Amino acid sequence: MLRIGSMILGGFVITVTILHFLPSKVWWVRIWDFPRFQLAVAGALALVGTFVTAEGARSPAFWLFVLALTGCVLFQAVLVWRYSRLAPLEVERSKTDAGPRLTVAVSNVLESNRDSDLLIRVLTAADADVMLFVETDDWWRERLDVLLRTHPHNVQCPLSNTYGMLLYSRLPLLDTSIDFLVQSDIPSIQAQVQLDDGTTVWFNGVHPRPPAPGESDESLARDAELLLVGKRVCDAKQPVVVCGDLNDVAWSRTTRLFQKVSGLVDPRKGRGMFSTFHARFPGARFPLDHIMHSTEFRTVAMRRLPFVGSDHFPVVATLSFEPDATAKQEAPAPDGGDEQEAHKTIAEGRSR
């Protein structure tokens, strides 16, 4: 029984790994970008079970299966390795108090969640300068407006379609706007956040629609929105922060392409996955909520916050504005093929 189970599990891992190489954007293909860590673990267990239950002489078919499964395990592990503490940091640790700091918190509240008191307690304790909340409707706006006492600067776009957004800041917000970049019911928020020394940071809050049953049959709209934001900020002459529930994992092709076209860095790399979804299922968690920024920042700290009644954990990062960091931190860079792919995806997403 163990042998059959190991063969079935191993065959499944091989099959969904092969799906990675398909150019399709349909949800049942792209959804397998998410559980790469889980697939690596499952494949490793299948390998052990295959060897333990092997009897007698091992046939060429046995070794072909083992070789294919080993390759798949290594492939999945390599993709998630950059988000382990064994990997080098992409964003250096800040070792100075000289630069102004910016603490950003992101929380998908889960629109149907009604434990607003718990969420407010956790986010208040996090003491972030800027707080972005997604999946917020009018009910949530009424509850979260208590934050105006300490965070009087705000941008609000409550919606009842699970894509509402609320932004609260203790720092001044300039040139605020609410854009619908790809789909008419999916907003994003842009603002200039003024730091204590007068520096302005171009803040972008996003929450694209995911490829999933009941949401979207394919990932095109999500991919187009992320890449469009990336193209918008790539030539910015000022520091940039892009954050939100991206509905995509840190190691997916789209998120990696987003980093390349935007020139932004990810403080997760070398620090841990900080998996934020699903909060109620420890064995099935993925890093969907992101805080990425330009190379003028170093990282003071990053952490996942406690449970707030949602299916997402909030995440918070404290960044130190140190312009000299640009010379020491290297952001992913695109090649010609990356630029072409990004332009094509954006054009197709906007035409739907």
Tokens 């969907």 correspond to: 288
pLDDT by residue (tens digit) across 164-199? 999 999 999 999 999 999 999 999 999 999 999 999
Share of the chain above pLDDT 90, in %: 77
The predicted structure's pLDDT at residue 104: 98
For residues 310 and 119, the answer to whether their CB atoms sit within 8 Å is yes
Residue carrying the six token digits 């503490």: 85
Given a contact cutoff of 8 angstroms between Cβ atoms, the answer to whether 158 and 136 are in contact is yes
Q: What percentage of the chain carries pLDDT values higher than 70?
A: 99
| Per-residue pLDDT tens digits for 124-156 | 999 999 999 999 999 999 999 999 999 999 999
Q: pLDDT tens-digit profile of 274-289?
A: 999 999 999 899 999 9
Q: Inform me whether the pLDDT recorded for 219 exceeds 70.
A: yes
- Average pLDDT estimate for 56-78: 87
The rounded distance, in Å, linking the Cα atoms of 49 and 53 is 6
d(C-alpha 286, C-alpha 293), whole Å: 20
pLDDT for the residue numbered 281: 94
**pTM of this prediction exceeds 0.85:** yes
Mean pLDDT throughout 267-275? 96
For the CA atoms of 115, 119, 125, 128, what is the dihedral angle to 10 degrees? -160
Residues 78-125: tens digit of each pLDDT: 999 999 999 999 999 998 777 799 999 999 999 999 999 999 999 999
Considering only residues 69 and 3, tell me which one the structure prediction assigns the higher pLDDT.
69
Q: Residues 6 or more apart from 264 whose CB is under 8 A from it? A: 230, 233, 240, 242, 258, 292, 293, 294, 331
Select from 153, 206, 213 the least CA-distant residue to 183.
206
* Among the ranges given (39-48, 236-245, 329-338), the one the predictor scored with the smallest mean pLDDT: 329-338
pLDDT of 56 strictly over 60? no
* pLDDT tens digits along 286-315: 999 999 999 999 999 999 999 999 999 999
Confidence band for 57, pLDDT divided at 50, 70 and 90: low
